């Protein structure tokens, strides 16, 4: 094999290993099993999205297709998202991929997203660094919303190439890893999701906060970073989520609620 071909192959492999994908969720510290293609609308690969105009930005590639099951929860339940590189419990995401973690929720139609969680640079470390330490797990608490079927859109944003716009240099640009989970809320709350909200594509633009950011020498202080999208919904902040490990994956089979007919 020629040296140039070997270097290209090695770079491609390294690039793949640097990415991340949502593998499962937990409810009140109970592992719901590997959810890819079961209750997670999983993309075909762990590659990032960079085109801010792509319809895939909503729920990633294939995210418009419903999957067989939904995870059942009620008001106040803890819903934990678990990420991995290429398998559950691996090194999650490359250490160079620093950035925030966001969670949105929407009715099952997947439109008008409400931000219910965000974690950025906390003065000491980036959310992705804390995610690695937590074995890929971060949690939110279900707000007091009406019963029904919802989508939860968890998103990791990597800023290591965000010192350029994708539209100017397709080899670089912010890297987005969104993934949507089908969730059925069984409690009947009174706090409807606010009108309006984020739309994908549309809300994230080159001019949006958090899309362009230079992590390196000469760039702004990391503490000045502000994540893209709307502010976190007040009702979700009444019991704020966190990044932290809740358990060790068992890779068990998921048995949950089927989607609404």
> Which tokens hold the place of 218?
């000469």
| pLDDT for res 4 | 40
**pTM (2 d.p.):** 0.90
Q: What is the pLDDT along the chain (261 residues), one digit of tens a residue?
A: 443 433 334 334 444 446 999 999 999 999 999 999 999 999 999 999 999 999 999 999 999 999 999 999 999 999 999 999 888 888 899 999 999 999 999 999 888 999 999 999 999 999 999 999 999 999 999 999 999 999 999 999 999 999 999 999 999 999 999 999 999 999 999 999 999 999 999 999 999 999 999 999 999 999 999 999 999 999 999 999 999 999 987 655 444 555 544
> Which tokens hold the place of 190?
């009174």
CB environment 166-191: b (16+ within 10 A), e (fewer)? beeeeeebbbbbbbbbbbbbeeebee
Residues in the chain: 261
| pLDDT for res 109 | 87
Nearest-angstrom CA–CA distance, 187 and 164: 45
pLDDT over 70 percentage in the chain:
89
| pLDDT for res 112 | 95
167, 171, 226, 230, 251 from 205: Cα distances, Å: 11, 18, 14, 13, 38
| pLDDT for res 18 | 63
Q: What is the pLDDT of residues 82-131, one digit of tens each?
A: 999 888 888 899 999 999 999 999 999 888 999 999 999 999 999 999 99
**19 near 93, Cβ under 8 Å?**
yes
Query: Which residues share a beta bridge with 62?
Result: none
Going from the N-terminus, what domains does the chain have, and what CATH number goes with each? 20-243 (2.70.50.70)
| pLDDT for res 16 | 45
């Amino acid at each position: 094999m020629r040296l140039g071909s070997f270097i290209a192959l090695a770079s491609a492999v390294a690039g793949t290993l640097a990415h991340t994908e949502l593998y499962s969720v937990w409810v009140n510290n109970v592992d719901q099993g590997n959810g890819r293609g079961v209750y997670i609308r999983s993309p075909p690969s762990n590659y990032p999205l960079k085109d801010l105009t792509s319809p895939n930005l909503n729920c990633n590639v294939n995210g418009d297709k419903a999957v067989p099951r939904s995870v059942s929860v009620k008001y106040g339940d803890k819903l934990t998202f678990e990420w991995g590189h290429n398998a559950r419990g691996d090194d999650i995401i490359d250490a160079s991929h620093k950035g925030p973690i966001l969670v949105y929720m929407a009715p099952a139609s997947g439109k008008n997203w409400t931000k219910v969680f965000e974690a950025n640079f906390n003065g000491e470390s980036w959310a992705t660094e804390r995610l690695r330490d937590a074995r890929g797990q971060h949690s939110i608490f279900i707000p007091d919303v009406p019963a029904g079927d919802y989508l939860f859109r968890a998103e990791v944003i990597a800023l290591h190439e965000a010192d350029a716009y994708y539209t100017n240099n397709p080899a670089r640009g912010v890297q987005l890893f969104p993934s949507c989970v089908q969730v059925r809320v069984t409690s009947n709350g009174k706090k409807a999701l606010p009108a309006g909200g984020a739309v994908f594509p549309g809300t994230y633009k080159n001019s949006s906060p958090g899309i362009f950011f230079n992590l390196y020498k000469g760039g702004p202080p990391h503490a000045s970073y502000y994540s893209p999208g709307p502010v976190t919904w007040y009702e979700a902040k009444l019991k704020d989520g966190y990044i932290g490990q809740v358990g060790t994956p068992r890779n068990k089979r998921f048995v949950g609620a089927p989607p609404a007919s």
